[in-house]
Amino acid sequence: MRFAGFLVVILLLTGMSWLLVGSFIYELVPGGWRTIAAGWALSVVPVFVLIRNIATGRYPSATVRLWMFRVFWYVQLLMLPLALMSTIGFLVGVPFGLGAEGGRLVVVVLLPALVILGLWGYVGSRRLVVRDVTLAPPELPSALDGLRIVQLSDLHVGPQTSRVQLEKIATATRDAEPHIIAYTGDQVDDHPKDIDFFASAFGHLEAPLGVYAIAGNHDVYAGWAAVRRGLEAMGINVLVNSATKLTHNGTAFWLAGTGDPAGAQFVRGHESGAPDIDRTLAQIPNGAFTIALAHNPALFPALAARGVAVTLSGHTHHGQFSIPSKGWSLASVFLDYAMGTYDRNGSLLYVSPGTNFWGIPFRIGALPEVTVITLRFMSKPA
């Protein structure tokens, strides 16, 4: 029943989009409505494949993900704005008796513009940025000055992920010579077997103070228990609602990791991966310097209220579309903590744009990022 409802919604939404766009350009298309109907039918085939895979537990190959699922998303993300904007063009033209011409003009002009935008976004998805981020939390012990953490977030690795891109990420991480490597969630692309490809790409990475990972919402969707086993088999320290004590330059501090809110709504197996802030920080003594890994930045206020000095998050992807110079991203429209650095009563948050992408390879402004976090001690005025 759940699949049937999903299928009906997709068929109606895509059908209406194709119908609206087609009504303006069918005379320009060879074969007219037959060609448009065939295009729509082919565009929704991946939905049936997806439902079959979910129902049977079949693992989608790289070919299916690249040439079916990805094409589906490209086509629908093309048709939806075309349908909306062409309808606006029609309405603008109606008072002048040029409704059909207005809708047609919008399609003819907007279609190549959207294709160019898609190509721009694809190029952006392959541009890897190594970003140096300096954080100076007020309570940082002086011995931790210069502590480096490489944050890798939202990798969404699967069989379709570019091996060249993954090697670039691994090389940049190694070259940064971090004291800690932190994977802040969404290691896999929705399936537990994806962890094998993740391990192949990053299993060799090491850091003096350890390699750590937490759950992201897509790790939860994949089946957190299985993903966790795969991470631990790599030798990664998994922190979910737990913390570990580390020592650097003779000074102790704590690294904590939360669960993800998706675990409260989506449970597959015996371990949900849902967040529990009290449990996460239970072992940590009052006043101890603490760094927290929390995939979803919505957890930041609760962590800040409990005295966590630094929180590293991802999840938002910065909407995969941002204007960094303006501090704006598509995610900013919907989220309080969407991109960059935030300060809440001296507690600092950094929200990564992610190191890869999800869905389609599209990033403008919000480029894929290997984040090198450096903690700096700021001496207090006498």
Residues 44-62: tens digit of each pLDDT: 999 999 888 988 889 999 9
CB 191 within 8 A of CB 59: yes
Cβ neighbour number for residue 359 with a 10 Å cutoff: 15
- Mapping DSSP to helix (H, G, I), strand (E, B) and coil, where does residue 14 land? helix
Average pLDDT, integer, range 132-145: 97
CB 272 within 8 A of CB 224: yes
CB 174 within 8 A of CB 370: no
Interval 334-354: pLDDT, tens: 999 999 999 999 999 999 999
pLDDT at 265: 80
Asked if residue 362 has pLDDT above 70, the reply is yes
Interval 263-312: pLDDT, tens: 888 766 566 688 999 999 999 999 999 999 999 999 999 999 999 999 99
Distances (CA, A) of 176 to 130, 170, 218: 9, 10, 27
CATH class of 129-375: alpha beta
* Among 379, 365, 274, residue whose Cα is nearest residue 317: 365
Q: In what order do the strands lie in the sheet with 148-152?
A: 129-135, 369-375, 148-152, 180-183, 211-213, 237-238
Asked if residue 372 has pLDDT above 90, the reply is yes
Residue type, 118: G
Asked if residue 188 has pLDDT above 90, the reply is yes
pLDDT at 36: 96
Radius of gyration of the chain (CA): 23
CB 107 within 8 A of CB 82: yes
pLDDT band at 380 (very low <50, low <70, confident <90, very high): low
Asked if residue 262 has pLDDT above 80, the reply is yes
Cβ neighbour number for residue 55 with a 10 Å cutoff: 9
pLDDT at 272: 66
Domain range list for the chain: 2-125, 129-375
CB 176 within 8 A of CB 133: no
* Among 254, 247, 246, residue whose Cα is nearest residue 287: 254
Asked if residue 358 has pLDDT above 80, the reply is yes
- Mapping DSSP to helix (H, G, I), strand (E, B) and coil, where does residue 253 land? strand
Q: Classify residue 374 by burial, with Cβ atoms within 10 Å: 0-12, 13-18, 19+.
A: middle
Asked if residue 326 has pLDDT above 60, the reply is yes
For the chain, the distance separating the N- and C-terminal CA atoms, rounded to the nearest angstrom, is 68
pLDDT band at 9 (very low <50, low <70, confident <90, very high): confident
| Count of alpha carbons within 13 angstroms of residue 69, beta-carbon side | 20
* Among 342, 339, 343, residue whose Cα is nearest residue 365: 339
pLDDT band at 8 (very low <50, low <70, confident <90, very high): confident
pLDDT at 264: 84
Average pLDDT, integer, range 21-49: 95
Asked if residue 381 has pLDDT above 60, the reply is no
The length of the chain is 382
144-147 long-range Cβ contacts below 8 angstroms, 24+ apart: 144/248, 144/249, 144/251, 144/253, 144/289, 144/375, 144/377, 145/375, 145/376, 145/377, 146/374, 146/375, 146/376, 147/179, 147/180, 147/248, 147/374, 147/375
Q: Phi and psi for 262 in degrees, rounded to 5?
A: -60, -25
* Among 225, 201, 230, 231, residue whose Cα is nearest residue 213: 231
Asked if residue 382 has pLDDT above 70, the reply is no
Residue type, 291: I
Mean predicted lDDT score pLDDT of the chain: 94
pTM of this prediction? 0.93
Quote the CA–CA distance of 349 and 338 in Å, as a whole number: 11
